[in-house]
Amino acid sequence: MCDSSQKEDHSTSASDSALFFNYHEFSFPFYKELGSEDAIPKEHDEDHKLCITHFPNVYAPRGSAEFQMTRVVRVPRRFDESRDSLEIPQFSTQLPGSEPAAIVGDNSSGGFVRCGRYDTGDHVFGCSSASPLSELLDAAELAEVVRRVNEYLRREGYEVYGWRNLGGVVLDAVTGGLWSWASGPLLALCGPMFQESRALEQYVAQLNSPGGLLHERGVRLVLPRRSGCLSLDFVVPRPAE
Amino acid sequence: MPLVSRRSTQSESTSITKEDHAGGASRTVLFFRWLVTLEGDQDINEGKGYISIPNISNYIFFFGGRLRTVKGCKPLWLWVLSLIVCPMVLFSIFETHKLWYTKNGYKVLVIFFYYFWIVTFISFIRTATSDPGVLPRNIHLGQLQNNYQIPQEYYNLITLPTHSSVHGDITIKYCPSCRIWRPPRSSHCSTCNICVMVHDHHCIWVNNCIGKRNYRFFLIFLSSAVFSLIFLLVNCAIHIARESGGPRNYPVAILLICYVGLTVWYPAILFTYHVFMAGTQQTTREFLKSIGSKKNPVFHRVIKEKNIFDNGSFLKNLGHLMLEPRGPSFVSARERHEAGDWRFMNLSPVHSFEKI
């Protein structure tokens, strides 16, 4: 098993064969083992470092019950699936833990296997790149959700030579930028046809609402606009021991 | 290594409600805060963005977040504003009527001057006071313990593969100030204290960053400034040509021609520089990095380095950077947010000896 720093060495030293991995995860050797409530944290060897794959839920206030009871699994941005992914936010369609350079370790099943407790609140982590999201969604379901999000992002607001953008450029040039300032409220008055597309928002709302795929699994997808399209964040229940 | 905090961290105390706050503050105070929001308040993290953003940046907001500028900088933008407004005022008082009431159809030249002047003025305001593409903070918080300690792995430069049609891998970096993995081409502006998408540079003349969301306005500002100056020159030259008698009869026209001769070069050169930058698919920041110099990049020979963003042709590159969609505002000064929003929390700064 290798840790993430080894992965980075690998990727930087051989740029021709850089492999994709979830760069949000990190490892930590000093942690409490599972089993007893009052276990004392101790140092572990390279092969048994914890791999931190879920993070504080920054979409809930710190003191709230939601913050205590939920965590965030981040699906990273990916740049190797299409040329325009350098400009348009596109996210990995692979479940965290199944990327080409993910840490697999002794975990051949690919699932989230609990190893120890770490961080404020004694959260449970495994020793591989697999995250608690693996217990809630399968690879095909996640791929389908991310593929559709990527498609919406590609269509909405990032197309350089689309009529909406080019029209906006011309009208901004003619009005000195007044168009962008006034167009939002003006187009809203002209009816839904002219409004900025809200298809991605509607899709995410549908996934998160009762009857939606994610709602049924107890997962919530954070709207990419809320996370600045920096990562595709899934709010999952706090993993139990 | 634990990080040393220079100020107390945000906690549950941040969730003081707006009503509590409003109860203690008079309407006058709230009105003045709406008019000018100079400082953030660590205890208020609720309401509209303009109230909370000053907590985590050096922005000052006006009129409830409709306009912004950066505090702690020399007000050079006032100087630029006066350079835009004063010639128009002089032209309007001393020149316009003489050209307007001729039979030779010079009115159209006067109209063109005023049109380009208005476009210059509005685009200057839009460049200087709009969101350049601010990225949200604290989205990629690693952990809570040890005062939100940043994991060692987050200090590495991460190399990731790109599409087979792109020559080279991409390197991305974590911003320890904003606590986010920065997307390609974005960077942290130490003057504004925020990360900006497709960051070109921080412009001292407009006192704002030039980034993905206001690059368009910046280019319109430069080009329309050149056109308005040319029409100013033409109008004044016509006045002089039509006037009989010596220079005493048209001193303002001479003054304005001198003004045009002195000022037209800067926006013209800067616009040409940006055409070459965009054509070679480089931002000013990337260009400065490639030439390894802190000198004025405008007067440096354009170097075309191997660049993974290069689309192969000058025109394609030009289109991609100059016509780039503005995209949504991720940290809006006008939108409401809930209490205790992590995006507006100033977490403990990294210790001075840690790499930024």
For residues A107 and B241, what is the distance between their CA atoms, to the nearest angstrom?
87
Contacts of B117 (CB under 8 A, 6+ apart): B84, B88, B228
DSSP letters, B268-319, are HHHHHHHHHHHHTT--HHHHHHHHT--S-GGGSPP-----TT--SSHHHHHH
Helices B215-242 & B76-94 angle (0-180, nearest 10) = 30
Q: Which of the residue ranges A13-17, A66-70, A190-194 has the most confident prediction, judged by mean pLDDT?
A: A66-70
The pLDDT of residue A4: 43
Question: Where residue A16 falls among pLDDT bands split at 50, 70, 90?
Answer: low
Instruction: Please judge whether B140 and A231 are an interchain contact, meaning their C-beta atoms are less than 8 angstroms apart.
Output: yes
Bigger pLDDT: A10 vs B96: B96
* Complete DSSP assignment for B2-67: PPPPSSPPP-GGGB--HHHHHHHS-HHHHHHHHHEE-S--TTB--EEHHHHHHHHSSEEEETTTTE
Using an 8 Å CB-CB cutoff, list chain A residues near B154: 26
Q: What angle do CA B75, B121, B60 make, to 5 degrees?
A: 40
The ipTM (two decimal places) reads 0.88
- Going by the DSSP 8-state scheme, the letter that residue B163 receives in this structure is -
Closest by CA to B70, choosing from B201, B207, B164, B183, is B207
- Closest approach of A120 to chain B, Cα-based (Å): 5
Mean pLDDT in chain B? 87
Average pLDDT for residues A214-233, to the nearest whole number?
A: 95
Of the ranges A77-86, A172-181, B203-212, which is most confident? B203-212
Q: Give A37→chain B minimum CA distance, Å.
A: 18
pLDDT tens digits, one per residue of B48-67: 899 999 999 999 999 999 99
Contact A64 B340 (CB under 8 A): yes
pLDDT band for position A191 (50/70/90)? Answer: low
Q: What is the pLDDT of residues A72-124, one digit of tens each?
A: 999 999 999 888 899 899 999 999 998 988 888 776 777 888 889 988 888 99
Helix (H) or strand (E) holding B158: strand B158-160
> Averaged over B106-128, what is the pLDDT?
95
Please tell me if residue B352 touches chain A, with a CB cutoff of 8 Å: no
* Mean pLDDT, rounded, for B186-202: 95
Scanning every residue of chain A, which has its alpha carbon at the shortest distance from the alpha carbon of B158?
A8
Q: What is the mean pLDDT of chain A?
A: 85
| Residue A34 pLDDT class (50, 70, 90 cuts) | confident
Cβ-Cβ contacts under 8 Å, A5 against chain B: 152-153, 156
Candidates A11, A87, A120; nearest CB to B144: A120
**Chain B residues touching A180 at Cβ < 8 A:** 126, 216, 326
Q: Which residues of B are catalytic?
A: 203
Q: What is the mean pLDDT of the segment spanning A140-154?
A: 94
Distance (Å, rounded) from C-alpha A47 to C-alpha A2?
7
Q: How confident is the model at residue B289 (pLDDT cuts 50, 70, 90)?
A: confident
What Å distances lie between residue B166 and A15, A72, A78, A98, CA to CA?
13, 32, 14, 24
